[in-house]
Amino acid sequence: MEANQMPLDSFNREIDYLRISVIDRCNLRCVYCMPLNGIRFLPKAELLTPAEIEAVVRAAVSVGFRKFRLTGGEPTLRLDLLEIVERIARVPGVGELALTTNAILMRELAGSLKAAGLSRVNVHLDSLNPVTVDRQMRGATFAQIWQGIEACEAAGLTPIKINAVVTAGYNEADVVELARLTLARDWHVRFIELMPLGGGECATLSVKRYVSNIETRRRIEAALGPLIALEGASSSDEARNFSLAGGRGVIGFISPVSEPYCGSCNRMRLTADGKFHLCLLNDDELDVRRALRSAREDGLDEVARILLRAVELKPTGHHLLNGRSTRERSMYQIGG
């Protein structure tokens, strides 16, 4: 393959989007993602450094990647996040650089992240009801997240995208008020179906508390009227997008269980400890940290070769309907 052409995987999917987890720690303990106790986090020495992350991005651009996203754990807990953003944003060929965050620290960080070159954010908020937020996103207050979102908007990290994971017995009725936000605001509010990852208590909860987006859509339409399908989304957008009549924003449904989108998946993932994770819902990985830390002169070429190999090996299909996905890693160790 020539440099800068988008890499194709063995199912002819164009893979041009790299999601980079920068840390596995988090300041919250969402019920479907992180248990309250018994977590062993990566020691600092195992995390990729800003220079190593930049090296992977340079290699990725050289083989045709254009879109990048920082995630975690909670990426804003990395004290060197600004340096990471600055380094990536100045790599020629980087098209978009986004961040997925719970926004708790964005009141302090939004302006400087924008100045460092961040394009936009996806903010995780499961409800507008403070009691539900407290129960479901353990450790957060609604006010903290809301102020973080407002800071992102004021800093121009737009369009604001909100991600809500719909969880039976927690926020399944709150989807209506979240969807209603799109009437007055040009935000994207996206509803995500629960996925079980990692096999622990959060995976068990994710199976038991699963709500289909078919049901979520029905609930929203019953309260707010029919949704209008939006054309023109990119074929690799994992969300099916709609609007409310007269609404300014977008309502999206991300439905890996009820409507899998593996056929149009365009992404590769890099874990905080330097593995290419080939598919969110599968344990297959290729190590890249060893190549980054070797003293070899062709280190960058080797990183690009490993990435192309990862693209070639990327699987398709999943076993969510049987309640199975990864065994080795949980969501906070991959980045979603």
By the criterion CB under 6 A, which residues form the site for ligand SAM? 26, 32-33, 71-72, 74, 100-102, 124, 163, 165, 192, 194-195, 197, 206, 331-332, 335-336
Per-residue binding string, ligand SF4, 31-70, x by CB under 6 A, is --xx------------------------------------
- Cβ atoms of 171 and 31 closer than 8 Å: no
- Cβ atoms of 82 and 116 closer than 8 Å: yes
Nearer Cβ to ligand SF4, position 155 or 195? 195
Nearer Cβ to ligand SAM, position 100 or 241? 100
Position 102 contacts ligand SF4 (CB under 6 A): yes
- The neighbour count for residue 307, using CB atoms within 10 Å, is 25
Position 81 contacts ligand SF4 (CB under 6 A): no
Position 124 contacts ligand SF4 (CB under 6 A): yes
Which position's Cβ is nearest ligand SAM?
Answer: 336
Position 333 contacts ligand SF4 (CB under 6 A): no
Nearer Cβ to ligand SAM, position 178 or 303? 178
Residue 56's nearest CA partner among 282, 240, 255, 308 is: 308
How far apart CA 142 and CA 126 sit, in angstroms, is 9
CB of 32 to ligand SAM, least distance (A): 4
- Report the partner that residue 194 touches, choosing among ligand SF4, ligand SAM, none (CB closer than 5 to 8 A by kind): ligand SAM
How far apart CA 75 and CA 38 sit, in angstroms, is 21
CB of 26 to ligand SAM, least distance (A): 6
By CB under 6 A, the residues from 135 to 164 that bind ligand SF4 are 137
> Which residues are registered as beta bridge partners of 120?
98
Residue 104's nearest CA partner among 72, 69, 59, 67 is: 72
DSSP 8: B
- Report the partner that residue 34 touches, choosing among ligand SF4, ligand SAM, none (CB closer than 5 to 8 A by kind): ligand SF4
DSSP 75: G
Which range, of 26-34, 87-95, 147-155, 271-279, touches ligand SF4 by CB under 6 A? 26-34
Position 26 contacts ligand SF4 (CB under 6 A): yes
Q: DSSP letters of 173-238?
A: TTHHHHHHHHHHS--EEEEE-----SSSHHHHHHHHTB--HHHHHHHHHHHH--EEEPP---TT-S
Query: Of the candidates 64, 73, 198, 256, which one interacts with ligand SF4 according to CB under 6 A?
Result: 73
User: Which residues lie below 8 Å from residue 38, measured CB to CB, with a gap of 6+?
Assistant: none
> What residues line the site for ligand SF4 (CB under 6 A)?
26, 28-30, 33-34, 72-74, 102, 124, 137, 331-332
